[in-house]
Structure 1
Amino acid sequence: MNIHRWIKAGWPPLVVVILLLFIWQLAVTWGGTADWLLPSPLKIWRDGTTDMPRVWMHMWATVRLMCIGFSVGAIGGVLVASVLHRLPFVKAGFYPLLILSQNIPVIALGPLLIILFGFGLLPKLILISLVCFFPVTMSTLDGFMQTDRSMYNYMQMIGASKRQIFYKLELPHALPFLFTGLKISATYSVMGAVIAEWLGGNVGLGYYMILQKSAFRADREFVAIGIIVILSLLFFWLIAGLEKLIIRWNVKRSS
């Protein structure tokens, strides 16, 4: 049943993508556009398969980087959200700073992190972790604040401690919100990894794109872009699948 529903929901965007690629192919073929300026989808596919061993190596470097950064950012976001929720006076001081931190462009943090920590792995992981940290923190905090007040009052009446209320009521109630933040962070982690590789690196899809840009190989840049999109979708679907496995009660209620 779920597979049938996924197929039913997935075919309209698939048809649109195929139609757009067909129009793109016709426009480039009939317009005589130079390959270095705008290659056709067929040329992108041919060059992608030809250069696939090198692309594969760079892709796995990016996957490794984004998985580590995502894990650090997600765990840190859950921990910080839990602390801020349990300590309202700390939340009053740090919550506005969390909001203000999002006004700093990610691309501007990269050079600063490189100056502070060098060109190694650490500044890249910090950048990705910061990108993933905010959605998880804010979504989890919102989940804590949306806890059913009647159940909260009931647990207080029967003598439950704050620790019991947190683990048995507030944390389970916040899980759907947490997974919303995780799905957002999953897509952001790919973007953060590519930006980190742009700013300083010798491997990864971001570095691969810089090399192809210098060589005026737009076709291979499009190959990298396509892989980045696929990675984002796969990571998003992975988190969505984990959500359905872990929060069965919420999925059943929402279906």
Structure 2
Amino acid sequence: MANLVEIRNVEFSYGARTILSGLTMDFPRGKVIAVMGGSGSGKTTILRLIGGQIRPQSGGISVDEQQIPELDNKGLYAIRRKMGMLFQHGALFTDLSVFDNVAFPIREHTDLTEAMIRDLVMLKLQAVGLRNAANLMPSEISGGMARRVALARAVALDPQLMMYDEPFAGLDPISMGVTANLIRNLNDALGSTTILVSHDVHESFAIADYVYFLSQGKIVANGTPEQMLASEDPYVKQFVHAEADGPVPFHYPGKSLLEDLGLKGQTL
């Protein structure tokens, strides 16, 4: 099967508020796929659906040919063994050292000896340049370093699927470039599939093989980074070139300010 993850005609909503509508996406094995779009477009919801944290109202989501919405807790626990997740803010365990944070999933999912766990953890920390920070606590390292520790933890079990939720948020330019290169290099070294949710056009386009653009829960454009850069689609142009005017409004949809103030028909 060429695709590790397939999403087919997924509908998802929170109550009456539709988040995803008729969503269909493919994530091929061995590729880095960027999922981009404005805030509230449904990007993180896609990651949560793939991980089985939430279930769609309708449609299919398969990972390695297993239908995620149909799995029970035991099945989800097993399939998550094949997944790695880098949360938006790292989500390190604050009371555990850098070493123990990275060791946590290995201890949770395997029966390896402590000696083998130590070697694996040191290899993962070496890959992100933080082997000598193994004994430090999360409070003793910078935000950029914490993100790299979280990355080491996410790849601790050599997952088939890596998911990144805004991995570049809050990073300085150097850390951003280092993180982007790590994502690409780790994907290629592990032969895994990477789903990269991000607002950052430059870094994402530099490492992605394919890009999906979402708006209001629907795919409005997709293609290679080169195709997206050359696109004349109004939404893509506005997002890629950070233009203020375009199809994506600044204000959340609803009543106008004048209506809210009871001044409909008047001008400010």
Q: TM-score, normalised by structure 1?
A: 0.22
Q: Which has the larger radius of gyration?
A: 1
Higher strand share: 2
Q: TM-score, normalised by structure 2?
A: 0.21
